[in-house]
Homo-oligomer: A and B are copies of this chain.
Amino acid sequence: MQLERGTASTQVAAEKGTGKRSAQRTRQRVLDVSLALFNELGAPNVTTNHIADAAEISPGNLYYHYRHKEDIVMALYERYEAAVGDIVGGASGGAVDDLWLVIHLTFEVVDDFRFIHRDLSDLCTAYPALRVRFQRGLESGIERMSGYCRGLARAGEIEASPEEAHALAVNVSLVTTYWLNLQALRHASLAAMGRAGDDALSEGVFQVLSLITPYLRGERQEEFRRVARRYLPN
């Protein structure tokens, strides 16, 4: 992550007239336009020619940088994983107070890479490598959330058996994973679906919070309800 010799501007200058650009830059641009196209049309509906066009390079050149469409998808998935990792890594080890913030940030990342969940099953059968990575990430996410919930239960913050705490964690993961997807389906105009509106995102946070709220007790519950209310559409 500490590559990038020379500033972008000096690179551009050095590339002038040669007709060549740094491989790094081209690869980055391919990923950027691919992400945009995948999100807009769904990965299965974006062809390699389509990507090459948008990146303003030839199909042949595209395959010089990425031998298979799968390679592009995997590279983007790694970006997604890294972004998610930044969030949980930055979370201050388990305070209830900023749980809502973690949820919110997570939804933003899920939105940025919404193509992943849009055709998740199909992508995972087409690209087995993606399946194993996704499985790993999902399980570890569930496990982390489950541990967090069971911790709350032990601390007496929520009233739930270990099984219920785990079920709660799984439901949180499920809603986080599919909420924006379902919301896009519900409110999609006939036009291609662009980025989810702030509404859809806020509603998602509300949905997740409303999974947790009823388990809380007394004071804590009120606190949560106040936060949740901020995420209501009205």
Taking Cβ atoms with an 8 Å cutoff, the residues of A that contact B are: 41-42, 44-45, 118-122, 124-125, 128, 131, 134-135, 138-139, 159-160, 163-164, 167-168, 170-171, 174-175, 177-179, 181-182, 184-186, 188, 190, 206-207, 210-211, 213-215, 232
Contacts and interface: CB of A to CB of B under 8 A. Distances in A.
Contacts of A121: 42, 118-119, 181, 184-185
Given A119-B121, A175-B174, A185 B42 contact: no
A182 B186 contact: no
A234 to B, nearest CB: 9
Count identical subunits in the complex: 2
A135 B206 contact: no
A35 to B, nearest CB: 17
Contacts of A182: 174, 177-178
A211 B41 CA distance: 33
B206 A122 contact: no
A167 B232 CA distance: 10
Contact of A138 (B174, B186, B211): B186
Contacts of A138: 185-186
A174 to B, nearest CB: 6
B45 A122 contact: yes
B131 A122 contact: no
Given A44-B44, A118-B121, A128-B190, 7 more contacts: A42-B121, A119-B119, A121-B184, A138-B186, A167-B210, A174-B174, A174-B207
Nearest to A160: B214
A44 B122 contact: yes
A134 B44 CA distance: 21
